Structure 1
Amino acid sequence: MALPVLALDFDGVLCDGLNEYFTVSAKVYRELCPEIGCTGNLEPLREWFYRLRPVITHGWEMPLLLHGLMAGEDIQAMESAWPQVQQRLLRETGWTAQDLGQRVDEMRDAWIARDEQEWLSLHEFYGGVVAQVQRWLTTTPFQPVIVTTKQERFVQALWSGVGVTWPEQWLYGKTLAQPKTQILQKLHQQYGVIGFVEDRWEALTAVQQVPALQNIPLFLATWGYNTPAQAQSARQLGIQPLNLGEFCDPQSPWCRGND
């Protein structure tokens, strides 16, 4: 008998990749703008990049966000109206989402091929996550499933680095080229979904707009890439905010699968 599934985002829920995001974005930016990037000190932009990470939906946006910071774009405008700023920056630079995404992926692939341990060291699984995931994979009456916009090969490389074997059939990533709502619908129809844990506000509210998914419990990972204001208003929209301690506590009742 098939087990129900617990759907999990990867970045911002299981793994903290902020250091890697900034470092890879800086390398790509230096390629795109050698006349600026190679001479400019990008390090002072790191904290602003971290603060603005919640506005990013896809990896290709990261070098563009860094370019906006380097070009002196208004921080509040980037924070409140990133989609509009993003499109304007694409027009001004002539860059495309496809090219930026390819550059980011190729930069990661080359880095992993050159020194995988160095690349892995830029990531950190949130405290308690690895032990909790290992429990879920072996002892719980549900199947943990990752639904992410990250390339599957990068996810598997990170799990391998901490000694976790994640079943390939339960990893739904970028190569599927499907929105998370579509993946969740298929999982829900086939197995039933007991919960979806996501740190990105837009992804959770998108799920709420799909009639077939309106009965799925939604959880906001407040330790990830979202804002305090989003966490405060989550309950009003029927989204349960979770802190990391609750998420990693095997006795916590937040997930029905722990009953």
Structure 2
Amino acid sequence: MADLYALDFDGVLCDSCGESSLSAVKAAKVRWPNLFDDVDSTVVDWIVDQMHIVRPVVETGYENLLLVRLLLEMRLPSIRKSSVSEGLTVERILDNWLKLKPIIMEEWGEQREELIDLFGKVRDEWMEKDLASWIGANRFYPGVADALKFSSSSIYIVTTKQSRFADVLLRELAGVTMPTERIYGLGTGPKVKVLKQLQSRPEHQGLRLHFVEDRLATLKNVIREPELDGWNLYLGNWGYNTPKEREEAAGVPRISILELADFSEKLK
């Protein structure tokens, strides 16, 4: 029996945290210029370091902007404009992001779509000015590019990243050319909806279905949909998740914890 793999992008195929953190800092400076008046490179470096720790909470890219500003308020109390940043720690962000996010968005008067547009625009401008450095701020996980190139399975990308960025990285960094109709990016609907579409296609009938994610919350959403009971679910332990999440996932019968070497081998 042949296999179909639906793959998340960031945290499964590509370690994009360096690029997304730097892009978020650039975008935050555009969105809230006054807050960055007295911010030096030392503070920016600290924020980027902390972003690597809190990255597991990010579902959609625009959230990186919110995290940058929240971290800035934690570091510089004089600019604090949210009720939640006093005494806040990265551990509390990891544990409570779903509660914190709507609070700070309301207090800062921010709209999701506006932040999405700004984040995409800043990335586009960086790529236009210096594509090599934008690409260089990303890296594919070891073995993944070759596994994609030589896979005999049907491969689809299912990501909350904007499709054009995933496409450029696949081509320019991994050397993989994938038809654009196989990349389901931001705006194509929730991942559970995309999985339903993929399994319903006539050409996919009879295939073994596999979905690889690094976010436990996303896999839980799939489990809640009885219609998706036919999917084999995997949590990539090399991606943007925490030991606490991996421990929880290990106790869920539907979810297999996947090692990077085993993932590359499966794709081949």
Quote the residue 1:167 is aligned against. 179
Aligned to 1:240: 256
How many residues of Structure 1 are paired with residues of Structure 2 in the alignment?
246
Match of 1:216 in 2: 231
1:46 is aligned, of 45, 48, 62, to 48
Structure 1 residue 31: Cα displacement: 1.4
Query: Which of these residues, 91, 98, 104, is aligned with residue 119 of structure 2?
Result: 104
Contact 1:199 1:225 survives alignment (8 Å): yes
The equivalent of 1:13 in structure 2 is 12
Counterpart selection for 1:59 from 44, 58, 61: 61
Question: Which moved further from structure 2: 52-61 or 227-236?
Answer: 227-236
CA distance in 1, matches of 2:230, 2:167: 30
The two structures, once aligned, show a CA RMSD in angstroms of: 1.7
User: 2:236 touches 2:258 (CA, 8 Å); kept in 1?
Assistant: yes
Pair 1:200-2:211 in alignment: no
Match for residue 81 of structure 2?
A: none
Partner residue in 1 for 2:168? 157
Please list, as runs of the form range in 1=range in 2, the aligned pairs for 1:16-165 lying within 5 A after superposition: 16-40=15-39, 41-72=43-74, 73=85, 74-75=88-89, 76-136=91-151, 140=152, 142-162=153-173, 163-165=175-177
Contact 2:3 2:210 in 1 (8 A): no
> In the alignment, is residue 183 of structure 1 matched against residue 199 of structure 2?
no
Which 4+ runs in 1 deviate beyond 6 A?
A: none
Following the alignment from structure 2 to structure 1, what is the Cα–Cα distance between the partners of residues 53 and 252?
Answer: 24
- Distance in 2 (alpha carbons) for counterparts of 1:4 and 1:242: 17
The structural deviation recorded for 1:57 is 1.0
Unmatched runs of 5 consecutive residues or more in structure 1: 250-254
Q: In structure 2, give the amino acid aligned to 1:187.
A: L
State the shift of 1:193 in Å: 5.0
The range that moved more, 196-205 or 32-41, is: 32-41
Distance 1:46 1:165 in 2: 31
Once the two structures are TM-superposed, the CA of residue 4 in structure 1 deviates from its matched residue by: 4.6
Secondary structure (helix, strand or coil) at the match of 2:130 reads: helix
1:101-121 deviations in Å (ceiling 9; x for gaps): 111000011111112111111
CA contact (8 A) 2:209 2:230 kept: no
What TM-score, normalized by structure 2, do the two folds share? 0.87
Task: Tell me if the contact between 1:28 and 1:63 (Cα under 8 Å) persists in the aligned partners.
Answer: yes
Q: CA deviation at 1:154?
A: 0.6
Question: Which digits, 9 at most, give the CA deviation of each residue in 1:104-152, with x for residues without a partner?
Answer: 000011111112111111100001100111111xxx1x30111111111
Offset of 1:231 from its aligned partner? Answer: 1.3
In structure 2, distance between residues paired with 1:84 and 1:45: 21
Kindly provide the CA deviation profile for residues 60-119 of structure 1, in whole angstroms up to 9, marking residues without a partner as x: 111101111111121233221112211111111111111111110000111111121111
Asked whether the 8 Å contact 1:26–1:66 carries over to 2, the reply is yes
